[in-house]
Amino acid sequence: MSMFHFDDDFSAEIKNNNGEVIVVVTDHGNVVKISGFPTKEDAHTFVMFADFDEMDNDFINITGPNYDLNWSSN
């Protein structure tokens, strides 16, 4: 759907996975899938924060979304 490239050789892609919006982050070969976004627009806002740390995430800390995000790594 949408691919974003950031400094330090990592990228994020917003995908539709069987009707579910997910963000797939690739950082130096490590892949993390973040799910739970109600819309593509919510996922885009999340990606624009460029903070993919599950434990201390700026998007969650600042916006306090009314939905839960789930991180999974391969």
Burial letters 28-56, b for 16+ CB under 10 A, else e: eeeebebbbbeeeebbbebbeeeebeeee
Structure-block tokens of residue 71: 């991180």
What pLDDT score was predicted for residue 1?
A: 63
**What would the pLDDT profile of 24-65 be if each residue is shown by its tens digit?**
999 888 999 999 999 999 999 999 999 999 999 999 999 999
Q: What is the pLDDT confidence band of residue 8, given thresholds at 50, 70 and 90?
A: confident
Greatest Cα pair distance, the chain, in angstroms, is 31
What pLDDT score was predicted for residue 29?
A: 84
